[in-house]
Structure 1
Amino acid sequence: MDPVENLEGRMCTKHDKPLELFCKNDQMCVCMLCTVLDHKMHDVVLLEEEYEEKKVELKTTDAEIQQMVQKRRLKIQEIKHLMDLSEEDAGREKAEGVQVFTDLMDSVGRGLKELLKTIEEKQETTKKQAEAFIRELDQEISELMKRSAEVEQLSLSEDHLHLLQSLNIHRPPPTKDWTEVRVFPSYEGTVVRAVSQLEETLSEKMKKVLEAQLKRVQMFAVDVTLDPETAHPYLILSDDGKQVKDSDVWKNLPKNPKRFSNGFCVVTKQSFSSGRFYFEVQVEGKTEWFLGVIRESVNRKKLISLSPQNGYWIIRLINGNKYKASDDPPVDLSVKSGLQKVGVFVDYEEGVVSFYDVEAAALIYSFTDCSFTEKLFPFFCPGFDNDGINSAPLIISPVAVN
């Protein structure tokens, strides 16, 4: 039986009239008399009309619920996929870690074995040399004792002629000058040289590890272009949005909340709020630049400290040879001179921003334990032109994965 028909068959307990109407104000079924006495100023409609309206609302609600269910099922699939990727990453990292540390332990073991062998061989050589010296000294002592006995015997002789004819016995026999002879093996530097060789070996192995790590993060390369709507009025962007430099000429550009008013800065059109991404920037020929990522809500109108606390995760070059990470406090970076290309890698969920020397396949610096809660934008600042000394542009380069 239809619910409306069933309800219409019921009677109002107060007026003993059929429940044919619905009061929207009180959300209840009422009879004709109720509308006159108790619901006179209320919004009252036919029960069937309300029923049809509620059915439409229920269908809409059900569609919304189904959509919510579908979104959650997709989220479950996404989480499961991320779990699978995490397991694959963990497995690969463990396998690589076991291999690397096994190689390291083998290298350390071989280094220790060679060190002990070197010391033992030197000790054995010294021992044989000392034994040879002792035998030679014993031989000379025997010769000297023999001469001493002859001298003593001669001194007791009463034969003047014999004594005078044996004058050569008065002098000691010819012997070696032992004044400068030393038996003192020098082990100084043996351990240092062994450790130095080990460091070279470890350095080579670490270089291979970093090369492999760089290749992995390069797999997350993204294609980004500079957003002219955010560029400071002094900056010049290339038509393809891949290059930026200082012009020393102010341009009258439309004002908008996204544009940087202080600091010669620009960000990309693309933003990222999950996952991992990587891009490379050519910095060759420059004496000053700033690179990294920023959160969407940074203050673009005032000069502020470029630190993680203010939403900046960047490294910079100043004075042509001083590299710094804008951490809190700032960190001096050990970077070989002539840095040509910088790779920037971000793992949003892990809260990591890493910078690489692409040519050397070396890690420059990593911000860790970052807490990202909003969109991140790749960030570029080419620095002042400085009368042409720093005129080279920052160039977003295509990533070449070998």
Structure 2
Amino acid sequence: MATEGSFQSDNKFLCCICLDVFTDPVTIPCGHNFCKTCITQHWTVNDQHQCPMCKEPFDKTPDLRVNTFISEMVHQFRQTMVNKSSSCSEKQAAEPGGVPCDVCTEAKLKALKSCLVCLTSYCQTHLEPHLRIPGLKRHTLINPVENLEDRMCKIYGRPLGMFYLTDNICVCQFCTVSDHRLHHVVPAIQEYEAKKAVLQTEGTNVQQMIQERRLKIEQIQQSVRLSKDDADKETSASVNVITALIEFIEAGLTEVVKTIEEKQKTIEEQAEGFIRELEEEISELMKRNVVVEQPSHIKDDFKLLQNFTSMNTAPPTEDWTEVRIQTSHRGTVKTTVGQLKNTIDEKVKRLYIDIELNRVQQFAVDITLDPETANPYLILSPNGKEVKHGDVMKDLPDNMERFFPTCVVLGKQSLSSGRCYYEVQVKEKTEWTLGVVSESISRKGKVKARPASKCWSIGLRNNCNYKAFNNTHVPLSIKSDLKKVGVFVDYEEGLVSFYDVDASYLIYSFTDCNFNEKLCMIFGPRSNDGGKNSAPLIICPVGQT
């Protein structure tokens, strides 16, 4: 016997003509089920004998016999619905906005069903006659609704159980014969299920669109937060740079003023020296003047000639005509400011590199070497942080990941988005290669160090020739021997930059790189060269500058 759990949907037990639970259900040849009275009246009204559901025509009126199996199922369904409704709804007061029972005279109870024939809504108690009396069983019961008159055909007074697809309206079964015979008509319950399925699909799509937009909001908000953090860092860095420049300019101003003051002091000391010499000469000349004036009053020619020799001392003969004191400091200001400008330019460049290096160091990652990719001549440290070239080829499996004969090794970590930074010690080496390569780079045969071969790297050759291995080798101007190299990669920006960590100096950048697969870090210690190049490449912990 069927149980309550066997009934998955009320619609399986509803007649598509009267939209009520089957009464004396019959099965017609096409397999669809209807109330015996409903299908009989339908064929009486319509000239053609066809199924209201699938429109299959019949040559003659089929013999109608009550389907006892479906009848028993309907009986069990009615009992289940009564018991279920009784346990859940009996004597339950109508909620605000709910449908109340039209029969209750005192406290209005919650309606369980509405009858389209009686145009009345019933609670569990007052619905009982419709479930027991044969005449009332034929009435059309639906879930409780208000304004029942709207569910009835205004012309024929029958339930609006059919749906016109062309006019998009609900009509009764008699309207299909008279007013809309040529229109495409389907049972309302069938169209209801179709529309419900469409709405469910659309609802699912709408929910997905909502989730996508909420995710986009979260992404935008996260971008704003990252932008705010970056703006704060840039603001702080800008304040530090401008403050340092202001202090430097103030110091330069002090130096300019000091230089001018010292020059002025020198001029004043020089002038004082000239004045002293001139005053001494004036004193001598005044004495000379007295000596000269006295003989001029002697009228005795013999006495004048006799004393003239003793008075004939030479006066001062220094020529002061070309002596000048500098009065303009214009050249001093121009020279000093020009020197200050050059110094400031160098200072700004150094501050910028310091800030840039500090910024990229925020993306430090912990890199370890992958022994599965190491050339057999390479020796890796147990912690995977050091690599150097050995003189003996180790007996290792020649797997597809291993490089041969090129003496390089890759890091275990890879990059397919975002940014990363790491530092490598190259001190005391005469040759080395560092950079990044695409994961698909050929591991067998000579590795061509150039972007066209999916390799972006720099290196040292012959202990003095630093090069960037672009599609054509680019000589690098290094201020002092490199001891530690920082490598920064920005996948989305297509950028690979190399830094002199100790000098806070940008060595070289590959820009506008076309990254379209995973990137791996490559380390090439180069040949041992008889012990001259025996120092290892060492992956170092990243420290702030």
Question: TM-score w.r.t. structure 2 length?
Answer: 0.54
CA spacing shift, 1:190–1:357, aligned 2, 3 Å: same
Report which stretch shifted further, 172-181 or 315-324.
172-181
How far apart, in 2, do the equivalents of 1:110 and 1:359 lie?
A: 26
Identity score, percent: 50
> What is the match of residue 242 of structure 2?
101
> What is the match of residue 62 of structure 2?
none
Task: Using the TM superposition, give the Cα deviation of residue 355 of structure 1 relative to its aligned residue in structure 2, in angstroms.
Answer: 2.3
Q: Select 1:219's aligned residue among 356, 359, 362.
A: 362
> Higher Cα Rg: structure 1 or 2?
2
How far apart, in 1, do the equivalents of 2:461 and 2:322 lie?
A: 59
Q: Is the 8 A contact 1:107 1:198 kept in 2?
A: no
Q: Select 1:164's aligned residue among 295, 306, 311.
A: 306
> What is the match of residue 44 of structure 1?
none
Give the letter aligned to residue 118 of structure 1.
Answer: T
How far apart, in 2, do the equivalents of 1:170 and 1:276 lie?
A: 97
2:402 is equivalent to residue 259 of structure 1: yes
Q: Select 1:300's aligned residue among 439, 443, 447.
A: 443
Report which stretch shifted further, 75-84 or 347-356.
75-84
How far apart, in 2, do the equivalents of 1:93 and 1:147 lie?
A: 79
How far apart, in 1, do the equivalents of 2:464 and 2:453 lie?
A: 26
Report which stretch shifted further, 103-112 or 226-235.
103-112
CA spacing shift, 1:189–1:125, aligned 2, 3 Å: closer
Q: Select 1:320's aligned residue among 444, 449, 463.
A: 463
Alignment of 1:22-171 (within 5 A): 74=215, 77-78=218-219, 80-112=221-253, 114-123=255-264, 125-127=266-268, 129-130=270-271, 133=274, 136-137=277-278, 140=281, 143-144=284-285, 147=288, 151=292, 154=295, 158-171=300-313
How far apart, in 1, do the equivalents of 2:425 and 2:514 lie?
A: 28
Other structure's SS at 1:99 match: helix
How far apart, in 1, do the equivalents of 2:507 and 2:404 lie?
A: 30
Q: Is the 8 A contact 2:375 2:403 kept in 1?
A: yes
Q: Is the 8 A contact 2:285 2:316 kept in 1?
A: no
For residues 316-336 of structure 1, the C-alpha deviation after alignment (integer angstroms, 9 at most, x for no partner) is: 122223322223543333435
2:321 is equivalent to residue 277 of structure 1: no
Q: Is the 8 A contact 1:355 1:365 kept in 2?
A: yes
Q: Is the 8 A contact 1:104 1:202 kept in 2?
A: no
Other structure's SS at 1:267 match: strand
- By relative contact order (CA 8 Å, sep 6+), the higher-ranking structure is 1
Give the letter aligned to residue 88 of structure 1.
Answer: D
Task: Using the TM superposition, give the Cα deviation of residue 186 of structure 1 relative to its aligned residue in structure 2, in angstroms.
Answer: 12
Q: Is the 8 A contact 1:288 1:320 kept in 2?
A: yes
> What is the match of residue 33 of structure 1?
none
> What is the match of residue 55 of structure 1?
none
Unaligned runs of 5+ in 2: 1-10, 17-30, 34-50, 60-199
Task: Using the TM superposition, give the Cα deviation of residue 381 of structure 1 relative to its aligned residue in structure 2, in angstroms.
Answer: 0.3
Instruction: Number of aligned residue pairs: give it.
Output: 359
How far apart, in 2, do the equivalents of 1:72 and 1:261 lie?
A: 50
2:437 is equivalent to residue 393 of structure 1: no
Report which stretch shifted further, 307-316 or 247-256.
247-256
Task: Using the TM superposition, give the Cα deviation of residue 350 of structure 1 relative to its aligned residue in structure 2, in angstroms.
Answer: 2.8
Other structure's SS at 1:268 match: strand
Task: Using the TM superposition, give the Cα deviation of residue 100 of structure 1 relative to its aligned residue in structure 2, in angstroms.
Answer: 0.9
Other structure's SS at 1:324 match: strand
Q: Is the 8 A contact 2:367 2:412 kept in 1?
A: yes
Unaligned runs of 5+ in 1: 16-58
Cα root mean square deviation, aligned:
4.6
Q: Is the 8 A contact 1:115 1:191 kept in 2?
A: no
CA spacing shift, 1:66–1:277, aligned 2, 3 Å: farther
For residues 280-307 of structure 1, the C-alpha deviation after alignment (integer angstroms, 9 at most, x for no partner) is: 2222221111111112233333435422
> What is the match of residue 411 of structure 2?
268
> What is the match of residue 390 of structure 2?
247
Other structure's SS at 2:363 match: coil
Task: Using the TM superposition, give the Cα deviation of residue 273 of structure 1 relative to its aligned residue in structure 2, in angstroms.
Answer: 1.0
Q: Is the 8 A contact 2:353 2:505 kept in 1?
A: yes
